[in-house]
Amino acid sequence: MKSFRHLLLTLLCAFPSHSYSWADQGHTAMWEVAQSLLTPQAKQRVDAALAGDKLDMTAVWLDRVRDVGKNEGPLVGDAEAADFIKAFPFHFTWHYVDMPLDVKSYQAATGFTTRDDVVQQINLCITVLEGKSAKFDARTALRVLVHLVGDIHQPMHCASGFFDVTDPQHPVLQTALDKCLPLKKLKLEDRGGNQLFFGPEKYDQMHALWDFELVKKLVVVGSLPKILKDALPKINTTTPGAIHTWAEQWAGESVALAKAAYAGIEFGPCKLNTTGKGPKIERIEIKLPAGYADQQKSVAGAQLVKATARMAAVLNAIWP
């Protein structure tokens, strides 16, 4: 008989939570610019850790590792990726934390945070790079850290809509922690906007809109790295307090932005998947407010700039 853990993993793989944030283009551009902001010591340590890296994919390595589960992508057959997956079977949950929209801080989100969420994993990477943990090597820690600092700034990676689907024709969005907790247990959530569809196509999806469409909309003229570089001096990217509290502060900012990103959306009929144990939300038809993408693209842009500066800030704080 297969173990419960195996069964859980199979189920989780069959319904991977969250797609790829900020697209490869966003992650790669942020890391390119962040490297130009490093202190000489940080630059030297980063270069040393990444030396001999045959795969030029630091910022998207963690997404490519996830592809291996589907037997796809350039890391299929890669021994290092295989070892990583074996050691960290829950790596695919590291990219996000599904908090209710009304939550005011990461610490207040009891019942929604986990040991394998984006905040905990950023902190683990920091601890590894500080030389205080040997959970993985510096190269892995850098790849994971750089990727997750990008992810945590995508609002849909820090929040989820939880729905009362008593009447599936009229699903009701719940935002308060106490109302969301029982819905979370029933898994009646949109998984960071992944189950919210504003059109019939596969990617007419709220999460994909944030991952791809808004990034695409930002690049009207020039290249994304140049756009980020030019915007850096105009945005306050500083994070107060100790370095190990930064990730939870960033998650708190993202959930507030997610709340604003859900405002004005009309929720139409919900299709439930009843093949498993208890119904799950397969899709909810939504109507976005007029001009939604144009309004939210500036939010996405500011988040990309913050993530860029903060990737460098973390590394500079570790290696001043």
To Zn ion, the closest distance from the beta carbon of 155 in angstroms equals 14
Minimum Å distance from CB 232 to Zn ion? 23
CA distance 288 to 48: 47
Q: Is position 211 an interface residue for Zn ion (rule: CB under 5 A)? A: no
Q: Contacts with Zn ion in 4-63 (CB under 5 A)?
A: 21
Q: Does 95 bind Zn ion (CB under 5 A)?
A: yes
Q: Least distance (Å) from Zn ion to the CB of residue 63?
A: 5
Q: How far is C-alpha 284 from the chain's CA centre?
A: 21
CB of 92 or CB of 267, closer to Zn ion: 92
CA dist., res. 252 & res. 241, Å (int): 14
Beta-sheet pairing, 162-164 with 172-174: antiparallel
Q: Is 151 in the site for Zn ion (CB under 5 A)?
A: yes
For residue 233, the minimal CB distance to Zn ion (Å) is 27
Q: Name which of 95 and 143 has its Cβ closer to Zn ion.
A: 95
Closest approach of Zn ion to the CB of residue 224, in Å: 17
Would you say 151 or 248 has its CB closer to Zn ion? 151
Retrieve residue 134's tokens. 């040997």
Question: Closest CB to Zn ion among 95 and 207?
Answer: 95
* Residue of closest CB approach to Zn ion: 95
Name the minimum Å distance from CB 194 to Zn ion. 13
Lateral strand order in the sheet of 280-287: 196-197, 280-287, 266-273
Exposure string of 157-187, with b = 16+ CB inside 10 Å and e = fewer, is: bbbbbbbebeeeeebebbeebeebeebbeee
Site for Zn ion (CB under 5 A): how many residues? 3
CB atoms within 10 A of CB 145: 25
Gap between the terminal Cα atoms of the chain: 52
Pick the closer one to Zn ion by CB: 148 or 305. 148
Torsion of CA 306, 308, 309, 312, to 10 degrees: 150
Any contact of residue 66 with Zn ion (CB under 5 A)?
no
Q: Which residues bind Zn ion (CB under 5 A)?
A: 21, 95, 151
